[in-house]
Amino acid sequence: MTAADVINLVRRILKDTDGNQFRWPNTILLKHLSDSQRELRQVAPHSFLTLSDSMNAAADVTALTATLDLDEDHRRVLADMTAAKALSEDSDDAGNREQVDAHTSMASRGLGIGPLNG
């Protein structure tokens, strides 16, 4: 899975698909994706285990072409976590706050764990 795979899903979640006028630039979404990976590694470290039982790093993602060392099953979880972080930039908007909570909850359910910090 590449960063672009996750970011494309994030853009659909955020309804930010007009390439001429993105609300959230790729640089911002990549930063949020990096943060989401680090958070995922904290709450679900097993997600980063390799077949040889070593632990993959949650490296900073700086390009859409970057390969994410995670199972494809984590695409939606990362997308929900990343979308929540983007929406939290405008958390003074009550509608956005509700969406942050909804996407954080979906990510938690996707991992099969209790609530994440939004």
* Rounded-to-integer distance, Cα 84 and Cα 70, Å: 20
Q: Can you say whether residue 22 is alpha, beta or left, with left for phi > 0 and alpha for psi between -120 and 50 degrees?
A: beta
pTM of the model: 0.83
**Is 108 within 8 Å of 116 (Cβ atoms)?**
yes
The verdict on residue 7 lying in a domain is yes
The verdict on residue 116 lying in a domain is no
Residue 11 structure tokens: 């853009």
The verdict on residue 118 lying in a domain is no
Q: What is the pLDDT of residue 41?
A: 85
Confidence of residue 54 (pLDDT cuts 50, 70, 90): low
Q: State pLDDT tens for residues 56-105.
A: 666 789 999 998 888 888 899 999 999 999 999 876 777 778 888 888 88
The verdict on residue 117 lying in a domain is no
> Which residues are 49's β-sheet partners?
55
Q: What is the pLDDT of residue 114?
A: 66
Q: What is the pLDDT of residue 108?
A: 84
* Rounded-to-integer distance, Cα 88 and Cα 108, Å: 17
For residue 60, the enclosing domain spans 3-111
- Our count of domains for the chain comes to 1
Q: State pLDDT tens for residues 92-117.
A: 777 778 888 888 888 888 888 766 66
